[in-house]
Amino acid sequence: MVNAMSSQALIDKIMKTAENEAEQITNDILRRAGENEKLIFDRVNAEKDAILKESQARCEQIKKIAHLTSGLAARKARLHTRRELLDLAFGQAYSDMLALPDDKRRSYIEKLAAKYAPADKITARVSKKDLPLFDNGVLTVNTADGRTVVAELSEDEHIKGGIYMSSPEADTDCTLDSVFAELREKYEAEADRIMFSADGNGNV
């Protein structure tokens, strides 16, 4: 990749080479005998102009490449920083959820079940820490559409929080890992959209 310093050094080298080539052509032509002075200088100037014009075009192309690559690097750096901030924010939120007091953890699970429980014949799994929060290991909630959900709970060592519900028709993953993964995906997509937006500004 071409950075600002290396691109300027390359531009300087191209222009110096062009000047040297033009001077060499001038000396070669002037050494030639039998041509009239005006024709000699016309040819010299034409060849000089062509060399310098081509070199200038190459330098402009280098400047464009340097600008594009440095801009992309800056956007990637900002995106990396934003993702580090997301890591920090989601990690802290995840820890906070796990550290909720018993009544709030139970309330959170009940709200998930009331909102996302499958139709009927439900079984559910929760973390070892959360299982004792429910009398006789049974979850009972009323849903917004008037159903009463009763689910026998079991412990799942892979679940850290939330609830995983199953029925003959469908499984519903409302564990903390699943909820946070979905939220993280949403916010990372938004970060990508901002950083690589069509206008290229990468505003944060």
pLDDT at residue number 2: 43
Q: Is the pLDDT of residue 9 over 70?
A: no
Q: Cα(196)–Cα(189) distance, rounded to whole angstroms?
A: 10
Q: Is the pLDDT of residue 197 over 50?
A: yes
Task: Give me the chain's average pLDDT, please.
Answer: 75
Weakest-pLDDT range from 53-62, 116-125, 163-172: 53-62
Report pLDDT digits (tens) over 149-183: 888 999 999 999 999 999 888 889 999 999 988 88
pTM: 0.56
pLDDT at residue number 72: 62
What's the average model confidence in pLDDT over 51-80? 66
Chain length of the chain: 204
Long-range CB contact pairs, 82-91, < 8 A, 24+: 82/191, 82/195, 82/204, 83/188, 83/191, 86/184, 86/187, 86/188, 86/191, 90/180, 90/183, 90/184
pLDDT band at 101 (very low <50, low <70, confident <90, very high): very high
Report pLDDT digits (tens) over 69-87: 666 666 666 667 777 777 8
pLDDT at residue number 67: 63
Weakest-pLDDT range from 22-31, 42-51, 141-150, 191-200: 191-200
Q: Cα(100)–Cα(104) distance, rounded to whole angstroms?
A: 6
Weakest-pLDDT range from 55-59, 100-104, 108-112: 55-59
Reading the block at residue 46, the tokens are 């034409």
* Closest of 187, 182, 179 to residue 111, by C-alpha: 179
* Closest of 64, 72, 68 to residue 196, by C-alpha: 72
pLDDT at residue number 191: 66
pLDDT band at 1 (very low <50, low <70, confident <90, very high): very low
